[in-house]
Amino acid sequence: MTLENIIEMDKNFYVNIFGDRIPLAFNKGRGCYLTSVEGDEYLDFYGGVAVNSLGHAHPKFVSALKEQLDSLIHTSSTYYVENQALLAQKLSEISGLSKVVFANSGAEANEAALKMARLYFYRYSEPRRKVVTLTNSFHGRTFGTLAASGQNKFHTPFRPILQEFHYINPNDDEMLEEIDDCTAAVMIELVQGECGVRDLDAGYVKRLVERAKAFDTLVIVDEVQTGIARTGAWFAYQQYGIKPDIVTVAKGLGGGVPIGAAMVTDSVARMIKPGDHGSTFAGSPFACRAGLEVIKIIEEENLIDNVNVMGDKIREMLNSLGYRNVRGKGLMIGVPVDNSPLVCQMLRDNHVIVGNVGLDTLRLLPPLIVGEAEVERLGEALKMLS
């Protein structure tokens, strides 16, 4: 099918939730490269918005998923699921948290986290409904996670949004007073991806956690985008030296297969009873096999080391080209530029794909397998813009 055919069919039959998309469609991928339906190869420095953690068509990953397809795709939560149990154990090991609830996406994982925070206080003591999140945050597109997202542009079409969500400015100590003995949870992203890849200050994060603990308030860290080695550790909170009560992951965990998870401490897990939460598809044998293989390959190929080495090389390259105030951690990188949509288009014209946030930031989210050759290729494309 030609690109023109795909665009026409999309306009005729797909609800226009994405507007006019970039006029590209891909039908093949290998490593850090994508091939369009017109046969052109592109360097992928966006990774499906941090989803394709192993790049495209990683041979070990593909082989494992083919094997799983040949044996079992789905049963139901009525029965025990081997891969679900194995992945729950693995996530517990790498996170230091005790138990896991599976989901189908980041938004669903965050919904589960918010529900568990309410349930915790419903059963632990007096009910608490208040949840504190950060302005400019983004936690998903369900009603609950929209309300948790501290951006009015997401709220306006759906008002009245769910109540009892309170927003404080990142890195603003005075606003920490909003966390009090009525607060069930404070929910944060340690690197805010959807507002320009902005890291929270480490000292501020520790003070926020201390304030929350003083009131027995649960700390939820949304690692949907930062988790599973993206920032140079299994989870960004490990780089901040804090111990959350609930951590959510998705995106990179499945390597392209939809999966999410919320990991919790024992004290939170004890307050969750049968029937409080559930999902038909979450934690399927196939999705959990994908998660297991992603973690296994990251370990076998030392990809956390690669994330840190390549992240430094990208920053060195950007600095050598005159880019300043580069933000983010590991392979989650925000580059301040003028007219970022135009810069993205110019890079695409040179067959390099990056993302942008708003009008002033390039977002780089390459696969964790990215190497020196790909960094050099990006640098060459950027040089052509000047």
Bond before 244 cis per omega within 30 degrees:
no
- Predicted confidence (pLDDT) per residue in 348-363, tens digit: 999 999 999 999 999 9
Active-site position among 222, 235, 245, 286: 222
How far is the CA of 353 from the CAs of 24, 35, 94, 267, in angstroms?
11, 12, 31, 44
Residues 17 and 37 in one domain: yes
Which domain-ending residue is among 300, 332, 359?
300
Q: For residue 120, is it within any domain?
A: yes
What distance in Å separates the CA atoms of residue 340 and residue 327, rounded to the nearest whole number? Answer: 15
Instruction: Print the domain residue range for 276.
Output: 72-300
- Predicted confidence (pLDDT) per residue in 72-82, tens digit: 999 999 999 99
138 carries an active-site annotation = yes
Active-site position among 138, 154, 165, 235: 138
Active-site position among 130, 165, 251, 286: 251
For helices 82-95 and 285-300, angle between their N-to-C axes, nearest 10 degrees: 40
Residues 253 and 354 in one domain: no
Q: For residue 327, is it within any domain?
A: yes
Q: Write down the pLDDT at residue 3.
A: 96
Reported as a pLDDT band with limits 50, 70 and 90, residue 386 is confident
How far is the CA of 16 from the CAs of 21, 23, 155, in angstroms?
10, 15, 19
What distance in Å separates the CA atoms of residue 188 and residue 24, rounded to the nearest whole number? Answer: 34
What distance in Å separates the CA atoms of residue 185 and residue 191, rounded to the nearest whole number? Answer: 19
Q: For residue 41, is it within any domain?
A: yes
DSSP class of 201: P
Q: Write down the pLDDT at residue 354.
A: 98
Residues 330 and 231 in one domain: no
Residue identified by tokens 């419903």 is 122
Residues 101 and 199 in one domain: yes
Q: Which helix (H) or strand (E) holds 295?
A: helix 285-300
Q: Domain count of the chain?
A: 2
Span 11-31, average pLDDT: 95
Query: Does pLDDT of 332 surpass 80?
Result: yes
Residues 311 and 296 in one domain: no
- For residue 95, what are its two tokens? 């996170």
Is the separation of the CB atoms in 348 and 385 below 8 Å?
Answer: no
Q: For residue 67, is it within any domain?
A: no
- Length of the chain in residues, anyone? 386
222 carries an active-site annotation = yes
Is the separation of the CB atoms in 286 and 68 below 8 Å?
Answer: yes
Query: Does pLDDT of 24 surpass 80?
Result: yes
Residues 207 and 314 in one domain: no
Taking the model in full, what pTM does it have? 0.97
Residues 79 and 224 in one domain: yes
